[in-house]
Homo-oligomer: A and B are copies of this chain.
Amino acid sequence: MRCTVVGAGAWGTALADLLATNGCDVRLWAFEHDVADAINERHENPRFLPDTRLAPTVRATSALGEALAESTLVVFAVPSAHLRRVAHAAAGWIEPAAILAVATKGIEQGTLALMTDVIEAEAADRPVVAISGPSFAVEVATRQPTAVVAASRDVVAAQAVQETLSSSTFRVYTHDDVIGVELGGSLKNVMAVATGIAEGVGLGFNSRAALITRGLAEMTRLGVALGGQAATFAGLAGLGDLVLTCTGALSRNRAVGLAIGRGATLEQALAGKETVAEGVETARSARELAQREGVEMPIVETVHRVLFENYPAHNSVISLMSRELRAEQDA
C-alpha cells in the first residue's frame, strides 16, 4: 500500500522509515529540498535525524501533490504552528478514501484547536487518527521496543493505523479517547519545560518526581474538563509520554527549561535551534484553555510566568513546591 508522511523532521522521518520497513510504498514530504535530496541520495536525514540509516525505499519529495498521489494513509508530522497551512495546501491532493493520521503534538494558538480538529477542518470527511505515546524518534529508528496509541472515534481507522504501523518492536494500541490522547501529548511538553526549569535552578530527583506527579494531576483535570477520560492520562499517551519527556534523554523542551532555570532569557534559550520546542507555545494555549474552563493548573501557570511574564525562575519554582499543606486528594 502507498503511504505518505507529511513532514520530515525527526518524528516524520522515523515513521516513514518504519512504514517502509513494514513493506509500505512510502512517500515522505520534506519542506526543505536539501532534506529530500539527502534522503533520496544517501538514505539519511542529517539535519533532523542524524546518524540513522533509513530504509532505501523511502522516497522523499518537496512536492505535496507528488507525495500524496494514490496514498491510502497520510501521516501528518509537521510542527503544530505549520499544520493548518500545510494541511490546507495538501487537502486537494489527498485521496478521498485516505485515512489521515496525526503525529503532531500541540494546541493551535488562537483557536485552541487540537491537531485532529485542524486536520478535520482542513481535509474534511475522512477518518482521523491521533498517534501519540512515549517515542523518541531516534529510538524508533534504531528499533528500540516502543509502545504508542492510535486514537480515533472511527475504530476501523484506528485498527488500520495499528496494523500498518505495528512491527515486532513498535507496538500500537488502539484507543477511542482522541481528546485525552492529544492533550496528553501536548501538555506533557509544558511539564517538560517545568522539569527543565526545576533542574536548572538546582532541584533534585525528589522534586522532579513530585513535579511529574502534580503535572499529571493537572493535565488530567484539564483533560476531563474538555471531555477526555481520566484513565487515558494514566496510559501511554499521558503518563508514559510525560515520564519519557521529563526523565529521558534531554528533550528540546526540557533543554529550553534548563537554560532558563540557569538564567537565560527565553530568546537566548530558543536561539539558533533547528527543532521546535512545542512546550513553549503550548504553555500559552494550555493556560488559555485552563482559564476558559476554570481549571487550576499551577505548574502551567508557573511556566507561563517564567517564560512570558519575567518572573524569576528560582523563586517561582520554590513557591510552586511549597504550596499550602493539605490532604493530597485536595491538592
Does B136 lie within 8 Å of A240, measured CB to CB?
A: no
- Given A145-B322, A174-B326, residue A212 in contact with residue B240 (CB < 8 A): yes
Chain B nearest Cβ from A157, distance in angstroms:
14
Contacts of A247 in B (CB 8 A): 205, 243, 247
Does A234 lie within 8 Å of B235, measured CB to CB?
A: no
Does B235 lie within 8 Å of A328, measured CB to CB?
A: yes
Which of B142, B162, B217, B243 contacts A243, CB < 8 Å? B243
Chain B nearest Cβ from A213, distance in angstroms:
4
- Given A213-B240, A234-B234, A236-B328, residue A205 in contact with residue B321 (CB < 8 A): no
Asked whether any CB of chain B lies closer than 8 Å to the CB of A315, the reply is no
Nearest opposing residue in chain B for A168, CB measure: B322
- Docked pose: A133 CA to B211 CA in angstroms: 12
Does A166 lie within 8 Å of B213, measured CB to CB?
A: no
Contacts of A204 in B (CB 8 A): 136, 139, 142, 144
Asked whether any CB of chain B lies closer than 8 Å to the CB of A331, the reply is yes
Contacts of A265 in B (CB 8 A): none
- Docked pose: A134 CA to B328 CA in angstroms: 14
- Docked pose: A173 CA to B169 CA in angstroms: 41
For this complex, 5 residue pairs linking A to B, each with C-beta atoms less than 8 Å apart, are A134-B209, A144-B206, A171-B210, A212-B243, A243-B243
Top 7 closest A-B pairs, CB basis?
Answer: A134-B209, A205-B248, A209-B244, A213-B240, A173-B328, A247-B247, A146-B206
Knowing that A175-B329, A212-B243, A220-B234 touch, tell me 20 more A-B residue pairs with CB under 8 angstroms: A134-B205, A134-B206, A144-B203, A145-B206, A145-B207, A145-B322, A146-B210, A168-B322, A171-B322, A171-B325, A174-B327, A174-B328, A176-B327, A205-B247, A208-B244, A213-B234, A231-B329, A235-B329, A243-B243, A243-B247
